[in-house]
Amino acid sequence: MTTLDTTDHDDWLAGIHERLKHTCDEQTAYLSDLTAAAPDAAEAAAHGALLAGTRQSLADTVAALRRIEQGRYGACEVCAAAIPLARLELLPHARTCVACPR
């Protein structure tokens, strides 16, 4: 599997790691707020969708942090090609390159 060459990108990768940790903290706090809320019947479906979306986003963020820690960050999980840095800047939890489906 191809991995991101971090020889010249250590500072960049540290910045991405910090962004992901901050996002994880924000999502955890938001999820806590959502689970503490008791929506009325009219809002139950929207509330459930928010919960599901936040849980998925948190799982994606945690998985990206794990890939950084394991030295696998930046490699497409489908074709193993390096994910372009621009894509990782925009979507730090990206698991695939642009050409491969998620």
The domain segmentation of the chain, as residue ranges, is 10-73
Say how many C-beta atoms besides its own lie within 10 A of residue 49's C-beta. 10
pLDDT tops 70 at residue 102: no
CB half-sphere exposure, 11, CA atoms < 13 A: 1
DSSP structural state of residue 43? G
In 27-66 the beta strands, taken as DSSP E runs, fall at none
Tokens of residue 8, six digits = 């010249």
Tokens of residue 88, six digits = 């990782």
Q: List, in order, residues 6 or more apart from 4 with CB less than 8 Å away.
A: 13, 73, 74, 75, 82, 83, 88
pTM beyond 0.75: yes
User: What would the pLDDT profile of 30-87 be if each residue is shown by its tens digit?
Assistant: 999 998 888 888 888 999 999 999 999 999 999 999 999 999 999 999 999 999 999 9
Residue type, 84: P
Give the pLDDT band of residue 7 (cuts 50, 70, 90): low
| Dist CA 100 CA 74 (whole Å) | 14
